[in-house]
Amino acid sequence: MPEAPPPIRPMRVDDALAVHELCSRVLFAPQPGVEEELGRARSLGRIEHLVATDPGGVWVAEAEGRIVGVAMALMRERIWGFSLYAVDEALQGRGVGRRLLDASLAYGEDHGAQGWIILSSEHPGAMRRYARAGFALDPCVAAMGIPDLTRAPDAVARVEDAGAAGIPLADAIGRAVRGAGHGPDIPTALAGGARLLVLEDRAFALMREGNVMLLAATDDEAAGTLLWAGLTRAPRGATALIDFMTGAQQWAITVCLDAGLPLSPDGPAFTKGRLGPLAPYLPSGAYL
């Protein structure tokens, strides 16, 4: 008889390091310009934060005392998001990932989720599971490289580094664009070295080094200006990363091309239910 798959259980905070190590093996890619210890501290902060805010949405598979799978989901107002999903390579294809995903989806169902968002890896098995779960696929591209800033508009001078004072504005824009605010998650991002940039009452972004972690705006012009501002305020020579750009984000694709950043295929976005327009919007891989 085939060996039974390992059991799953709710994740505990003391699982965080083992979850990080699993994801480092099978999911995470090294971040350009980020030292390993700093990357680990940020990863642990993210994992521990979601264990605290969403204990019903975070699950692990355990075999012989070792974490071999993880699925982490969050609920923000009426929006469910899938934050982290990984299975040890030796156990892929044995039903572990499906059971973990089902447990995280049940968290959204139990809490009355009206909209659902997944930012997928390029792993064929993950994409198949999301599509079979009733999610619609939206192809994405990413951009990475050292930007040419000579075409940055003068309007970037109007962008402010708001810090925690900008969270209410970010919440309001997030509700209009995504369908839910980002307030509970922004302090964790700030503690991990992110900056919260705002442009008047029209746009906000979380930036860290050259990485655009999250951006939402009321109009394309404000979104493009804020993206340029993030690129100009990154450390000189830093590698910029903008990912999960759907076809609705032509404003972002234009900025990337004007900054000389090459485009490449990215994992798709999956959605279902009632969400905001999701534009202008660059979602957070961790917090959607």
Query: Does residue 163 fall inside a structural domain?
Result: yes
Which distant-in-sequence residues (6+ apart) come within 8 Å of 236 by Cβ?
Answer: none
Residues 252 and 170 in one domain: yes
Can you give the CATH number for the domain in which 200 is found? 3.40.630.90
What pLDDT is recorded for position 32?
A: 66
**In Å, how far from its chain's centre is CA 26?**
17
Distance in angstroms (rounded) separating the CA atoms of residues 46 and 79? 19
Whether 94 maps to a domain, the answer reads: yes
Kindly state whether residues 193 and 109 are assigned to the same domain: no
| AA identity, residue 34 | V
Single-letter residue type at 27:
L
Mean pLDDT in residue range 125-139: 95
Tell me, yes or no, if the pTM score tops 0.85.
yes
pLDDT of residue 2: 55
Q: Are residues 163 and 250 in the same domain?
A: yes
Rounded CA gap, 197 and 161, in Å? 5
My answer on whether 89 and 23 are in the same domain is yes
Judge if 52 and 166 occupy the same domain.
Answer: no
CATH of the domain at 56: 3.40.630.30
- DSSP-derived letter for residue 73 is E
pLDDT for residue 236: 87
Do residue 171 and residue 218 come from a single domain? yes
List CB contacts of 70: < 8 A, sequence separation 6 or more.
11, 19, 22, 23, 58, 59, 60, 61, 84, 85, 86, 87, 100
- 59 and 147, same domain (yes or no): no
pLDDT of 1 > 60? The answer is no
48, 97 contact by CB (below 8 A): no
One domain, residues 201 and 106:
no
For the stretch 252-270, pLDDT in tens is: 999 999 999 999 999 999 9
Q: Where are the beta strands (DSSP E) in the chain?
A: 8-10, 58-63, 66-76, 79-87, 115-119, 136-145, 160-161, 195-199, 203-208, 211-217, 240-245, 263-273, 281-282
Task: List pLDDT tens digits, range 161-182.
Answer: 999 999 999 999 999 999 999 9
In-domain check, residue 97: yes
- Collect all residues with Cβ–Cβ distance below 8 Å to 132 and sequence separation of at least 6: none
Please give the C-alpha separations between residue 22 and each of 28, 36, 126, 197, in angstroms, as whole numbers: 9, 15, 16, 32
> Largest Cα–Cα distance of the chain, in whole Å?
68
Number of structural domains found in the chain? 2
Residues of the domain holding 39: 8-113
Residues of the chain with pLDDT > 70, as a percent, come to 97
Q: Pick from 106, 113, 22: which is nearest to 70 by CA?
A: 22
Mind giving me the DSSP string for 142-160?
A: EEEEPPP-TT--GGGGG-E
Q: Name the average pLDDT for the chain.
A: 94
Does the residue 1 lie in any domain? no
Residues 224-241 pLDDT 10s: 999 999 999 999 889 999
Q: Does any domain span residue 129?
A: no
Tens digit of each residue's pLDDT (9 = 90 or more) over 24-37:
998 877 676 678 88
Same domain, yes or no: 109 and 24:
yes
Contact 70, 17 (CB under 8 A): no
Tens digit of each residue's pLDDT (9 = 90 or more) over 20-74: 999 999 887 767 667 888 888 999 999 999 999 999 999 999 988 899 999 999 9
Instruction: Judge whether 136 lies within some domain.
Output: no
pLDDT score for 3: 66
